[in-house]
Amino acid sequence: MKFMIVGKSNAEVEAGALPSQELVDNMHAFNESLVKAGVLLAAEGLYPSSYGAQISYSDGRATVIDGPFAEAKELIAGFWLIQVKSRQEAVQWALRVPVPPGHEGIGLDVWQVFDPSDVPDDTMPPQVREREQALRERLGADEPSD
């Protein structure tokens, strides 16, 4: 099962403040523990929302809104994509993410990633499943673990 651990932003992160060396070292150690456990698929920090854009749709038309965006607590600062055996294991990994004291505005979300293997065979036409599998193979995506 794949899960995404999403790190929420705060005003300090949105202002472009760089993390302390201690936090960088702690994050590196956390990421190393994920690698050693064989569960890390990807992990990245994100620039503040002033570097981003949002796209909204109304009446079939797209509107692009350039950042920055108002609600820092609703924004994402980074993510980890992990492959584990259960939701409980994903939550346990998320609880180990180092968060420095005094950063109460930062939070984490844990989301299960939808995978085509989650769809029962009888509800997805074979040609659609084959096309999805071929695309994943071309991208080098791993098969979900049992």
pLDDT digits (tens, 9 = 90+) for 14-67: 888 888 899 899 999 999 999 999 999 999 999 999 999 999 999 999 999 999
User: Is 83 found in the same domain as 26?
Assistant: yes
User: Is 40 found in the same domain as 20?
Assistant: yes
User: Is 93 found in the same domain as 120?
Assistant: no
Domain count, the chain: 2
HSE-CB of 39 using CA atoms within 13 angstroms:
22
DSSP state of 96: T
CATH at 81: 3.30.70.1060
- The H-or-E segment that residue 111 falls in is strand 108-112
pLDDT at 47 (0 to 100)? 92
Its pTM stands at 0.79
User: Is 95 found in the same domain as 131?
Assistant: no
- The dihedral formed by the CA atoms of 23, 24, 30 and 33, expressed in degrees to the nearest 10: -150
User: Is 66 found in the same domain as 20?
Assistant: yes
| Segments forming the whole domain that contains residue 29 | 2-54+62-113
For residue 42, list its beta bridge partners. 81
User: Is 128 found in the same domain as 84?
Assistant: no
